[in-house]
Structure 1
Amino acid sequence: MKGTMDRYSRTHKIALYILVCLLTLYTIWKGIIPAWKELNSDFPNYYLSSKIVLEGKDMHRLYEDAWFNQKLQELDLAEQGKFSPFPPATAFVMLPIASLKPLTAKRIWTICNICFLLLTIYFLQKITAWHWIFCALLILLTGQALLNNFRLGQLYLMVGCTLVFSHYLVQRGKTGIAGSLLGIVAIIKYFPVVFIAGYAFTGNRRLTIYAISTMLVLVFLQIGVVGTGVFATYLAKVLLPHLQGDLSMQSPYAIAFQSWESVLRNVFVFHPTENPSPLINWPTGKWMVQGIMYACIALTTIYVLWQSHFLQKPVKQWIYLSLPALAAFVLSPASATYHYLMLVFPFAFILLVLKAGEASIVITGWFILLYMGIGWLNYNYVYKVMEPIGWQIFLFYPRLWLLLLLYISYIWFIHLKLIKVHALSFPERVKAGY
């Protein structure tokens, strides 16, 4: 908001504008220009699936990796690819451009991604009342997430824009439309289900009903178009294995996933080729540690949400829309850099909660540094100085540890700076030093 910028000196304002300009130029250089020139994963997978639907043949073979990969090579789209782990609805996203030449379609999608980026900034400003430059920084600071979304032709700017726009509609009382939009993106990329649950926690029944109804309608439409066999294959052989970090044509030991599933497999589970020298060869330990970690985060999240019920409505809503999403990111069984564009939406609410709790500049800066680190730190940097052997394996998961730190820091702030303070009467607050 303008008042926020008014508090900055002329030097600080110039510095912020220069930073936005530099990050924008870097995004164009490393993200948009490569997207304009190259056809690389993952856009060919989206494009081919829509082309198959458009032609109306062989749709029942979408999840046959070898066949799908062969089709990619026949069209000279990519050396290797697959449709999984995408839900069947993903095959409909590129229908409007699937009849065009692949590179032309990629360029049109790149223009769409630029529009989604600008719209996200615009609606972020509307829902937060921040100055546009802070909204732009919030997205540009996602680093590799934004660059790879452009370069690879991913869908997460579209999903993130829909999340922000939906909340804009909620603020204006158009909860039905907002719920339908969330239902649409949740059936394409199922992570937005977390935000639907967040709105349900706040008591927004209309939005929840519209979201669930939209999802059910789209599921039945998908079954009508691609058949029950494709949908059954997706549930049994794609979705359930994905939730366990097991993706076809990809190793569950892959460090790129930056997940508990990956790190604990590398620590505890022997595999003759993927992991011949685990730190501790104890497969049972993997399930024990993972179960304890999942239970701790789930129970802590539920407890803090329950403890937050008496806070003022806006603050409570911000917590309900940010904390479960952050917990879901920490527990994600397999993640990629571009997934973290969906962190922009909950992180905006985290910043609003920090402001409501009168967080100091140091605390706010700590949260922003963690957020930036998630977007910019890459495990490939560690490969330059060491190998993932023995205890060194833990150093190859910077994104996972930063997410966990962000989660713990947020829990600490909500509990000590909001719940504990607001639970005290005024004399008790004075006595406690608040």
Structure 2
Amino acid sequence: MVKEKTTTIKLFKVLKYLWLVFSFIIIIWKGVIPGSKKVNTDFNNYYTASKLVLEGKSIHKFYNNDWFYKQAQNLGIKSGAKFSPFPPITAYAYIPLTIWKPLTAKRIWLLINIFILIIVPFRIRKISDWSLNKSILFLSLFTIPLASSLYQGQLYLIIGFILLETIRQIYTKKKKFPIGSVIGVAASLKYIPILFLGYIIRSQKKTTILLSAFLAIIIPSLFIYWKDNQAYSSFFQHFQSHIQGNLPGQGKYAINFQSIDSLLNNLFIYGSIKNPFPIINASILKPIIKYSLFAGIVSFLFLLFKKNKFQTTPLFVSICIIGIFIMLPASASYHFFLLLFPLLNIFMWLKNLNSKKTIGIVAIIVLTTFSLQAHHIPNFEKFPTINLLLHYPRFWGLLCLFLVLSLHYNNYLSKNYG
């Protein structure tokens, strides 16, 4: 019996190291190598915008996709670029990189991101008190988001790291970062970080943090409005379309964005070109199902909140953020690196409970959700409804993750509060 247990432990260690080697290879093969060779990625969007800002172009023009595409080509970016639906402040994000040609600038950005990536496991170890080995193993759950962010030249790796460093200080005595300002700037660039203000609710300095976050959002916005008073009207016009699942330049049926909006559009909304044969041609079903799902998530969260005697804990906030991710109008693999701190918080809680089985289940769900893409799934043309549903693994994975965590948290509260 002891010998079998020892053999199992050794096998697990071998599999663990094989997985880490595989993860490393994927990040290099899918992220670093193509990221250093190609400029036909998201990097073009940020780089072009920053270049045009320095040339004195009005930001409101950036939301004209055809115009922006041509401007990118004029800058030597043959594959073009697209700015919508980024907030106007994003146009300033890559200004320091514009002194170099696009490919050189992207390589420099790639090196900065690789440096951050090397640091992250050590910061995870510091926060969690895990071994470096376990910290790297946790980070490997983000293999595909990391590879995607490196390849695309995205902001998400750095924003996720900054949020990790910032939020952890709320729970320590040493506070070096201006927490509110950092969250405000991050939210100005990518929306989702505003949710991280939920972690400061129990902080004694929450009023100061909220005020500094608000100022970090409003002051740059006023500056941009002063420079171009049409920038925000153009942005909100595109953003309104974006939050309804109709992405400028991609339309409302794009399966790659894995959203509830895209799924329901394909199921119920007729489109003469892109969706001539919906499963059921009944557009009224979309808002009914979408808002019912939203109401269900909110209700479940409220029940957990009530069961915990209306106390907001870091764990509860982390589960809330995952719930909100389910309802995003569009998602890409690199978005998931913003879940670095929420998931670290969740795994630390599960580790403290010594819930090895639940840790394994949650890890598998997370890895599958972050890694499985729609194009990995074969087509079942004889069963169109099932085929469509199967091609939304990211959406179903997030929903499954939310339900598993919520149920486990509910059981935990039941045991502790009766």
Equivalent position to 1:212, from 201, 211, 214? 214
Counterpart in the other structure of 2:240: 240
* Equivalent residue, structure 1, for 2:342: 346
Shift, 1:31, TM fit: 0.6
- Name the aligned partner's letter for residue 84 of structure 1: S
Asked if 2 retains the 8 angstrom alpha-carbon contact of 1:45 and 1:83, the reply is: yes
Q: Which residue of 2 aligns with 1:262?
A: 262
Q: CA deviation at 1:153?
A: 0.6
State how far apart, in whole Å, the 1-side matches of 2:159 and 2:251 are. Answer: 27
List aligned pairs for 1:265-284, cutoff 5 A.
265-284=265-284
Between the two proteins, what is the percent identity of the paired residues? Answer: 30
Q: Deviations over 1:325-348 (max 9, x none)?
A: 101111111111111111222111
- Residue of structure 2 equivalent to 1:319: 315
- In structure 2, the CA distance between the partners of 1:202 and 1:252, relative to structure 1 (3 Å rule), is farther
TM-score, normalised via structure 1 length: 0.88
The verdict on how the C-alpha distance between 1:66 and 1:345 changes in structure 2, with shifts beyond 3 A counting, is same
SS of 1:192's equivalent?
Answer: helix
TM-fit CA distance, 1:180: 1.4
Shifted more, 33-42 versus 385-394: the winner is 385-394
* Letter matched to residue 245 of structure 1: G
Which amino acid is 2:183 matched to? Answer: L
What secondary structure, in the 3-state scheme, does the structure 2 residue paired with 1:274 have? coil
Q: Is contact 1:259-1:335 (8 Å) kept?
A: yes
CA positional deviation for 1:231: 1.5
Q: Secondary structure at the match of 1:110?
A: helix
- Pair 1:328 & 2:324 matched: yes
For structure 1, the 5+ residue unaligned runs are: 1-7, 425-434
Alignment of 1:185-200 (within 5 A): 185-200=186-201
> Aligned partners of 1:82 and 1:387: how far apart in 2?
37
Task: Flag the 1:305–1:201 CA change in 2: closer, same or farther, 3 A.
Answer: farther
Q: What RMSD, in angstroms, separates the aligned Cα atoms of the two structures?
A: 2.2
Counterpart in 2 of 1:421?
A: 415
What's 1:393 paired with?
Answer: 388
The question of whether the paired residues in 2 share the 8 Å contact of 1:308 and 1:419 is answered with yes
Residue 71 of structure 1 pairs with residue 71 of structure 2: yes
Number of the residue aligned with 1:377: 372
Which residues of 2 match residues 13-412 of structure 1 at below 5 A? 15-173=15-173, 174=175, 177-200=178-201, 205=206, 206-225=208-227, 227-235=228-236, 237-309=237-309, 317-359=313-355, 361-383=356-378, 386=381, 389-412=384-407
Q: Find the aligned partners of 1:292 and 1:114 in 2 and give their Cα distance.
A: 42
**Inter-partner Cα distance in structure 1 for 2:252 and 2:114:** 33
Find the aligned partners of 1:330 and 1:204 in 2 and give their Cα distance.
30
Instruction: Compute the displacement of 1:79 (Å).
Output: 2.6
Report the AA paired with residue 423 of structure 1: Y
CA drift of 1:38 comes to 0.8
Question: Could you report, residue by residue, the CA deviation over 1:159-195 in whole angstroms, capped at 9, with x for unpaired residues?
Answer: 1001101023323342861221111111100101111
**Which residue of structure 1 aligns with residue 3 of structure 2?**
none
Offset, 1:140: 2.5
**CA pair 287-23 structure 1, distance change in 2 beyond 3 A:** same
Give the Cα–Cα distance (whole angstroms) in 1 for the partners of residues 209 and 13 of structure 2: 39
How many angstroms does 1:125 deviate by? 1.8
3-state SS of paired residue (1:282): coil
1:192-245 CA-to-partner distances (Å, cap 9, x unmatched) read 1111134236665133332222222222233234x221122112x122211111
Residues 1:402 and 1:199: Cα distance change in structure 2 (over 3 Å): same
Could you tell me how far 1:100 is from its partner in structure 2?
0.9
The CA distance in 1 between the partners of 2:62 and 2:125, in whole Å, is 40
Give the direction of change, closer, same or farther, for the CA distance of 1:339–1:49 in structure 2 (3 Å limit): same
Q: What displacement does 1:10 show?
A: 6.8
TM-score, scaled to structure 2: 0.91
Unaligned runs of 5+ in 2: 1-7
Give aligned pairs, total. Answer: 409
Q: Which amino acid aligns with 2:108?
A: I
1:179–1:207 Cα contact (<8 Å) kept? yes
Q: What is the distance in 2 between the residues matched to 1:119 and 1:93?
A: 22
For residues 78 and 260 of structure 1, what CA distance do their matches in structure 2 show? 33
Tell me how far apart the structure 2 counterparts of residues 172 and 339 of structure 1 sit (CA, whole Å).
27
Q: How far did residue 291 of structure 1 move?
A: 1.3
Decide whether the 8 Å contact of 1:41 with 1:78 is kept in 2: no
Q: Letter of the aligned partner of 1:362 in structure 2?
A: K
Query: How far does residue 39 in structure 1 lie from its aligned partner after superposition?
Result: 0.5
| Offset of residue 150 of structure 1 | 0.8
Name the stretch that deviates more: 134-143 or 150-159: 134-143
Letter in 1 for 2:214: I
